[in-house]
Structure 1
Amino acid sequence: MIFILFCIYKQFADGGTDFITHWLRWAVILKIVRGVTGPGLNYKRSFLNPAQLFIVSFLGLILIGALLLMLPKATNHGISFINALFTSTSAVCVTGLIVVDTSSYFTQFGQTLIMLLIQAGGLGILTFASYFSYFFKGGSTYENQIALSDMTNSEKIGEVFTTVKRILMITFLVEFTGALLIFINLDTSLIPEFSDRVYFSVFHAISAFCNAGFSTLPNGMMEGGYVFNYPLQFTIVLIFVFGGLGFPIVINSVRYVKHILTHYVLRFLERENKRKPWILTLSNKINLITSVLLILVGTVVIYFKEFNNVLSGHSGIGKIVTALFTATTPRTAGFNSIDFSELHFSSIIIIIFLMWVGASPASTGGGIKTSTFAIATLNYLSLAKGKNKIEVFRREIADISIRRAFAVMSLSLIVIGAGVFLISHYDNHIPLLDIAFECFSAYSTVGLSLGITADLSSTSKVVLIGIMFIGRVTMLTILIAFFKKVKHGNYTYPSDEILIN
């Protein structure tokens, strides 16, 4: 297997493909997938726990992606290892920060590699590997199902592969629909060739749904001919907002809508006795409400603050769509239809806050997540009212959720703060605001920048690589992976209050 991989790599590296026919190449790839996914998942939990396996899978995918991007066929003029590693990390961690221009630096083969890395990183390589292993072998061990249930947040072990199948179906359905809508809204005079328009649509649909922010346009949606294409921008907004909601929310919401429709149809047909009740979960309600509020508040703030600034070139509905795009893309999408360096200072602070909050849990987006921010907000409101517990929608939020939320928030600020410190040390000529913006963007896997990414030193690029990776797998997951769990003792110590303020 290693020899086959080496032969393929050597063949591409030499710039020739006559040795391998088109169909033989696909057969070899399928054989590799079958060989890797089979024994690769049959591991012992005593050797790698699910958190460690999750981290190792991302590290492996990033390294493989960097090596593939260094192939002569992937770039027009070659690329250094540090830049290839940065690009691979940004793609796998669905960030979107770039040190070289994707459109001019990479060939279509290289852009396709980036697109595949985005897809694999957005959904998680183990999601693909597990399902392909199950597909080829016709089953999976109980131990593998336990591990995968931890990674997919499945409530029942027996529904692990059903959950994985739903995730893949939702992903490909949304990406196909998004690509179709993007294709319809493209200006044919800008991309005359049909095949080029199809490739553009597929690339941006995958990049948008996975909240990656990569684009084959030199200046993203700021490019002439696209900056005023409001239907295209609105379509991309819908795609990355949908990707940022999270698969559990989408699945539960679809079931709820189906229940509502069935309820009224059955009532009309007078067959109410056969209805099955279904409700939105507390997690869904909190995340949906928080997401909608952040989108609305962000859009209104950007609209009024930048009305005569970056939005001055737009008019009517164009200002609203551009404000919406600007307010939603910091929530880990990373696309840009304006120059963020031209925003007012106060608007940049709002963008940093939106990047820090990020998307919803179990989604393709990053950040501390909407549920974490909502729990923190509900907590101080509860404290202000003199309550000793958080209650919302006639439910009490579990103590473990509160502890996790504040752990995620504090760890995120520690990582971002460390990144700001290190980059300001190695590149002390760069303004502090630009560095802070870059670090928040990297940690929350957003991909927005004030234009300093390509000018960073190699050491600062390595720092950003680390921040992007930590932001994707989360610092809490890393701590869980390497800290040994203690056994719960049958005792409790006396509790004591600590002065806070």
Structure 2
Amino acid sequence: MKKRFYNPAQLFVLSFFLLIVTGTLLLKLPFAINQPLSWIDSLFTSTSAVCVTGLVVVDTATHFTIWGQLIIMLLIQAGGIGILSFAGLFAYFLKGGSSYENQLTIGGFSNTERMSEVFDLLKNTIVITFGIELVGALAIYSSISNDIPASLSSKVFFSLFHSVSAFCNAGFAILPDGLMNTSVVYNYNFQLIIAFIYIFGGLGFPIVLNVLTYIKHLCSLMIGKWAYKKAMYKPWVLNINSKINLITTAVISSLATVILFVNEYDHVFSEHGFIGKIVIAFATATTPRTAGFNSIDFGDLQFSSVMFIIFLMWIGASPNSTGGGIKTSTFSIALLNVLSLARGKDRTEIFGREISKTSIQRAFATMFLSLMTIGLGVFSISFFEPKRPLLEIAFECFSAYSTVGLSLGVTHEFVYGSKVVLILLMFIGRVTMLSILIAFIKKTKYTYYRYAQEELTVY
């Protein structure tokens, strides 16, 4: 590795590939499984765990032993935070510091511009991750302590597994039928706790840190006004990136909850009471944002609801988070750009700031590459299984690429070739096609000249 310089994108892709291979080998060990597991199913499970997707071809609760489930949980944790985060921190602690080259690598991975912030961000990421997962595990344990007949150690592992799986937006559950299991499906406290954990995980570490800084600033203002009758004003504590993603997340989640509540009130949600319908509608509306937990049978949803959930899966979570999809910021930038064009403006502006052209270009490139990759996945599976309904194929492909893990209950029925396609979609969706292109396409040298511009007909 020292003989050749690897750019951050190459290291990012390579680290996930090696982690998937390691997980595949570990899940084949005799002590990890209760029943025989084929190599393709082991590879599929490892990829789904590392890419925090949640699609399964075997039942996690019965097919794997406690050691196999522990391996899956560790793969989820490593894939959720990012193996490079761990590698950077290990280098920092073992060597008592880090080289400038390592900081550049981790900085490129975490989108941090100032080198002084690189390892501070990574350390805060680890602290926040483990902190929220611990609090989440305690909350889960308190909510299920009387519902699941098991030993203390089993309940502790159950709580920790689901907290890690939720925060990393993995969607793995060690209950038969997932969160549809009769022991928890009517436990609305448990359902809400899981939902809030994966919502935090889907916000993104920089946004969570920025929100915590903003809360600290508000507390300082309140204390300052009370103690000194005046407070120091500090502009832009909550940056524009956090504002856009938080507003987009709130609007999409609220709108989706209302739509699904109305659409499925007398259908899939009919077995729940009014409060239960609200809770399950909220869980169903937020889980497509790459969480992948199923409180209902998605195969029983109405066609309009399934199409709407495909759209939610495509958008996904916020950037620099454990979630996938094109990201809420990408969707917001594209929408703002369209509105600017409709108003005849040549700039995209919001909150007194202009969005850079680079951000707009990346947003539309991300959207184009995602649809192209998913389209190729749909075509490939249709080739392997020509008799399978298109809706089932499209749903599984969007779920795999966006690392959601929701299914219409047909993943285990796919043939060998279709499973390979889903594995590739999960991997590409986790590392992103743009990262793969950046990793393996040679960059052009900067030129100090520009060609004359030409207008092309586009509509």
TM-score range with shorter-chain normalisation? over 0.9
For 1:193, the aligned partner's letter is S
Q: Does 1:169 align with 2:127?
A: yes
Q: Percent of aligned pairs with the same residue?
A: 57
| Aligned residue identity for 1:140 | S
Q: Which residue of 1 aligns with 2:150?
A: 192
Aligned pairs for 1:99-248 within 5 A:
99-248=57-206
Structure 2 residue 436 is the aligned partner of structure 1 residue 471: no
Give, in angstroms, the shift of residue 78 of structure 1: 2.3
SS state of the match for residue 323, structure 2? coil
Contact conserved, 1:259 with 1:277, CA < 8 A, in 2? no
Alignment of 1:42-441 (within 5 A): 43=2, 46-270=4-228, 272=230, 277=235, 279-441=237-399
Deviates more, 1:271-280 or 1:287-296: 271-280
2: CA distance, partners of 1:307 / 1:156: 50
* CA deviation vs aligned residue, 1:264-300 (integer Å, no higher than 9, x gap): 1111111646665552111111100000001000000
Kept in 2, the 8 Å contact 1:262–1:275? The answer is no
Distance (whole Å) between structure 2 residues aligned to residue 255 and residue 309 of structure 1: 43
Quote the Cα distance in structure 2 between the aligned partners of 1:250 and 1:500: 39
Measured against aligned partners, the alpha-carbon deviations of 1:224-261 in whole angstroms (never above 9, x if no partner) come to 12110000000000000000000010001110111011
State the shift of 1:137 in Å. Answer: 1.4
Equivalent residue letter for 2:86: F
Mark the CA change 1:273 to 1:454 in structure 2 (over 3 Å): closer, same or farther: closer
Partner of 1:322: helix, strand, or coil? helix
Alpha-carbon distance in structure 2 between the residues aligned to 1:393 and 1:249: 17
Give the SS at the match of 2:455.
Answer: coil
How far off is 1:378 after superposition?
0.6
Provide the C-alpha distance between the structure 2 equivalents of 1:47 and 1:133, rounded to a whole number of angstroms.
Answer: 17
Correspondence 1:445 to 2:399:
no
Q: CA deviation at 1:188?
A: 2.4
Question: Which of these residues, 431, 434, 449, is aligned with residue 491 of structure 1?
Answer: 449
One-letter amino acid of the counterpart of residue 223, structure 2? V
Instruction: Note the C-alpha offset of 1:386.
Output: 0.5
| 2: CA distance, partners of 1:276 / 1:377 | 30
Bigger Rg, which one: 1
Say whether the 8 Å CA contact 2:147–2:184 is kept in structure 1: no
Q: Could you tell me how far apart the structure 1 residues matched to 2:343 and 2:136 are? A: 45
- TM-score norm. by structure 2 comes to 0.98
What is the CA–CA distance in structure 1 between the aligned matches of 2:251 and 2:231, rounded to whole Å?
Answer: 37
- Retained in 2: the 8 A contact 1:310–1:338? yes
CA distance in 1 between counterparts of 2:33 and 2:324 reads 29
> How far apart are residue 48 of structure 1 and its match?
1.3
- More displaced stretch, 190-199 vs 100-109: 190-199
Unaligned runs of 5+ in 2: none
Amino acid at match of 2:221: H
Query: Structure 2 CA distance, aligned partners of 1:274 and 1:137?
Result: 40
* Structure 1 residue identity aligned to 2:323: G
For the 8 Å contact 2:60–2:69, the answer to whether it is kept is yes
Gaps of 5+ in 1: 1-39
> Cα deviation per residue 1:96-136 (whole Å; 9 max; x = unaligned)?
00000000000000000000000000001111121122111
> 1:15-41 CA distances to partner (integer Å, 9 max, x unpaired)?
xxxxxxxxxxxxxxxxxxxxxxxxx7x
Cα contact 1:58–1:125 (8 A) shared by 2: yes
How far apart are the structure 2 equivalents of 1:162 and 1:386? Answer: 43
What is the aligned residue count?
459
Report the Cα offset of residue 159 of structure 1: 2.1
Q: Which amino acid aligns with 2:400?
A: A
Q: Which amino acid aligns with 2:303?
A: F
CA distance in 2, matches of 1:295, 1:277: 28
CA contact 2:221–2:232 (8 Å) conserved in 1? no
Pick 1 or 2: higher relative contact order, CA cutoff 8 A, min separation 6. Answer: 2
CA distance in 1, matches of 2:235, 2:45: 47
Q: Distance in 1 between matches of 2:196 and 2:207?
A: 16
